[in-house]
A and B are shown apart, each in its own frame.
Chain A
């Protein structure tokens, strides 16, 4: 049967990773637009919150100890920091020169990465943030209000229909809907089958296709998932490189170089520029940067 714990674990083993149970640490990201880092750290320390700097992130900290929820402090409610898993903080940092750019966040809700983009852009330029579910856009609006984001327009729109907006983008974040991973969902192995993975991979290719059509020449796409399945990651990017006039750029970030030979399939050599993050100190994650090749 193409599902179940043993099935998926054996796939990970084939990819070179030995399964281990993980316990994720909560992480926060300082909104540098709203807070001066040293003074915020002092304020949180005075509340008895112990933080540890995440070595591979500029503004990220793990929460080591807190007597109460870090989502209920006045500093959080004032938008001085956000709660954002460590690996999830990586994608937005991979873009170059975000200031004054027109950026698409194609699958934006609940908005953690949208807020991070706005922070990196210092509220300049424009972010167009889409989500297919209206209910999730309300959560996104709340995040934007809490974090004092001023440069974002949100739409209740399927990412595959982005061309309706008639905008060409400099940068596109595709944090696409995916199958997730066992580190953040204790029932993951029970709930997921390879059919789900295939269905998500298909949707992700459709989103990639539509996104490249609205990307300017030389524009950048950062593609990420929190799935560990190659169909949603390396295979999709290999397909994109072969079909969508994009190339995989080298990135410097946490994670292993992605494999180029998977389950007997040989992928483009540039796929090694993608980063695969196995669960451990972070959740499982995959991220890469694509650049549109000039026509």
Chain B
């Protein structure tokens, strides 16, 4: 599944998925196992692990996919507790909140954002070379787990 492997590559990572078990359903991608594949009929809504969705040709990863990539070699920025909180509120990552940088961190490269427990909080794009930047916002927040709350809010709005 090219959009998924291409996305992983942007994080300087490599992910190999069993093509037989990766299913595209409308604009969403799912990873099944043999058992689920045997049981799933065509009209499922969700199955196995949702990997992400494609909108207008752009791939948006799920948090499950990000966690899968986080288990592998990839660009990673580990942040402190205060920055963790700000990041899940949608803010960018500031240089002073970074505990550790793993992998290539040139301006424009994509990176996972992890907390001090190595749990994946989302991903972003380096605004400057992380090794050289002295201060200020260094990673632009693209997606963070606070999105779960935003989804709830938007679904409440839609209902009311």
Contact = CB atoms under 8 A, between A and B. Distances in A.
Q: How large is the interface on A (under 10, 10 to 19, 20 to 34, 35 or more residues)?
A: 20 to 34
A125 interface: yes
CB-CB nearest 6 A-B residue pairs: A77-B145, A154-B46, A153-B47, A141-B46, A154-B45, A137-B45
B119 A150 contact: no
Nearest to A153: B47
Interface string A150-161: 111111100000
Interface in B39-80: 39-41, 43-50, 62-64, 67
A211 interface: no
A72 B46 contact: no
A144 B35 contact: no
B39 A167 contact: yes
A153 B44 contact: yes
Q: How large is the interface on B (under 10, 10 to 19, 20 to 34, 35 or more residues)?
A: 20 to 34
Given A74-B85, A142-B152, A145-B50, A135 B45 contact: no
Given A141-B45, A156-B45, A77 B64 contact: no
Contacts of B102: none
A153 B84 CA distance: 32
A230 B44 CA distance: 35
Interface of B: 33, 35-36, 39-41, 43-50, 62-64, 67, 84-85, 88, 115, 119, 121, 145-146, 148-149, 151-152, 155, 158-159
A150 B44 contact: no
A282 to B, nearest CB: 24
B151 A142 contact: yes
Contacts, number: 81
A135 B155 contact: yes
Interface of A: 71-72, 74, 77-78, 102, 125-126, 128, 134-135, 137-142, 144-146, 148, 150-156, 165, 167
A40 B42 CA distance: 39
B41 A137 contact: no
A294 B150 CA distance: 49
B48 A153 contact: yes
A165 B159 contact: no
Nearest to B28: A141
Nearest to B35: A126
Nearest to B50: A145
A155 B49 contact: no
Nearest to A141: B46
Nearest to B41: A165
Given A126-B35, A139-B152, A155-B41, 20 more contacts: A74-B85, A74-B145, A77-B149, A78-B121, A102-B39, A134-B45, A137-B45, A140-B46, A142-B151, A144-B46, A144-B50, A145-B148, A150-B33, A150-B48, A150-B64, A152-B46, A153-B39, A153-B46, A153-B47, A165-B41
Contacts of B62: 145
A155 B43 contact: yes
Contacts of A152: 46-48
Nearest to B44: A153
A138 B53 CA distance: 14
A72 B152 CA distance: 12
21 contacts: A71-B149, A74-B85, A74-B115, A78-B145, A134-B45, A135-B155, A135-B158, A139-B152, A140-B46, A141-B50, A145-B148, A150-B48, A150-B49, A151-B36, A151-B48, A152-B47, A153-B44, A154-B44, A154-B46, A155-B44, A156-B45
